Amino acid sequence: MRVIKKNNNMRTYVDKVNKLIEPLSLRSGMVINTPYRHLGSKKKLLMVGFNPGGVPSYSETTIDEDFSRHTEDLSFNAMEECWGANQIKAPGCHPIQLLYQAFLNNTSLEEEDVLVTNLYWQRSQSSKELIIDDKLERVCREGFLLNIESHEPETICFLGHETASHLINNGWSNICLMRGSSKYPWGENQKIKNYRMKFNDKSINTFSIPHPSRFGFSNSFERLSSILDALIRNSEG
C-alpha cells in the first residue's frame, strides 16, 4: 500500500472525529465517504445526505470499522465502491456516486475539493426507519459543525429536501433564508431549493435537490444541467 504522509490539519481533524465517534462506534454506519487524505483542508463543495443505507449486507461496516478502513488507507474512496442491496449497483454506480462523478466531470472541481458525508452516520434501510436518540443527535450535530469549521465549504448540496428541512427544523443552522427555487425537470412538484444558512458565524450558500435515489438525472442532460446550474449559481454567491 502506498504510504501517504498525514498533514497536521488532517491529523487534528481525524483525531477529533475518532474521539467523537466513540459513543457510536459499534453501530452500523459510515462517517465520511471521500478519501481521508483530503480531510482538514478547505472544500469548494460539501455534499450531505440524510444517513447511510443500501449497501450489501456483508458490507455493513460499523462506524468504527468504517473509520478504520479509511484511516488505514487514506486514499480509499467509498464513492467508488459498491452501494446497493445485493450488489444491484456496480461499483461507483449508485445515483449519489454518479452525481459526485458528474460534478467532477462537468465542473472545475477536483476530488480534493469535495467532501461527502451525511447528517447522521448511523445506517438504516430508509431515513424513516432511523431512530434518532439523544446520543446520535448530539454526536452527529457536533460532527456536522466540525466539518463546517474544519473544511469551510463554499457551497453545500443537500441530497434530498428532507435533509435540508431536518437540519433547519432542528436548529443545526443559526439562520436560514430561502433564496428561491428553480424547476427540476422531473415533475411538477420537484424543484431545486436555494438557501443562505449560517452555522455559528459562517454564512454559506446551500441548495437542496430532489433525492438522487428517487429523482436522479439518469441519462437526462436537462436534469443534470439544472443541478449544475444550481451549483454554479450558489458557488458564485
Q: What percent of the chain has pLDDT over 90?
A: 79
**Around 67, how many Cα atoms within 13 Å sit in the side-chain half-sphere?**
21
Instruction: Provide the edge-to-edge strand list for the sheet that holds 191-199.
Output: 114-118, 45-49, 155-159, 202-209, 191-199, 175-183
- Give the per-residue pLDDT at 53: 83
User: Would the pLDDT of 2 be above 60?
Assistant: no
Q: Which CATH class is domain 8-235?
A: alpha beta
CB 81 within 8 A of CB 9: no
- Give the per-residue pLDDT at 7: 80
Lowest mean pLDDT among 18-32, 47-61, 182-196, 208-222: 47-61
Specify the residue for cell string 472525529: 17
Specify the residue for cell string 450488489: 87
User: Would the pLDDT of 227 be above 60?
Assistant: yes
* Measured distance CA(177)–CA(87) in Å, rounded: 40
Give the per-residue SS3 of the chain.
CCCCCCCHHHHHHHHHHHHHCHHHCCCEECCECCCHHHCCCCCCEEEEECCCCCCCHHHCCEHHHHHHHHHHCCCCCHHHCCCCHHHCCCCCCCHHHHHHHHHHHHCCCCHHHEEEEECCCECCCCHHHCCCCHHHHHHHHHHHHHHHHHHCCCEEEEECHHHHHHHHHCCCCCEEEEEEEEECCCCCCCEEEEEEEEECCEEEEEEEECCHHHHCCCCCHHHHHHHHHHHHHHHCC
- Give the per-residue pLDDT at 237: 67
User: Would the pLDDT of 60 be above 60?
Assistant: yes
Place 8 in a pLDDT band, splitting at 50, 70 and 90: confident
The residues with which 225 forms a beta bridge, in sequence order, are none
Through-space distance between the first and last CA atoms of the chain, rounded to whole angstroms: 41
* Measured distance CA(53)–CA(19) in Å, rounded: 23
Inter-axis angle of helices 8-20 and 63-72, to 10 degrees? 160
User: Would the pLDDT of 4 be above 70?
Assistant: no
Specify the residue for cell string 446551500: 206
**Nearest CA among 227, 216, 208 for reference residue 106:** 227
pLDDT digits (tens, 9 = 90+) for 81-129: 888 665 456 888 899 999 999 999 999 999 999 999 999 999 998 888 9
Give domain limits for the chain: 8-235
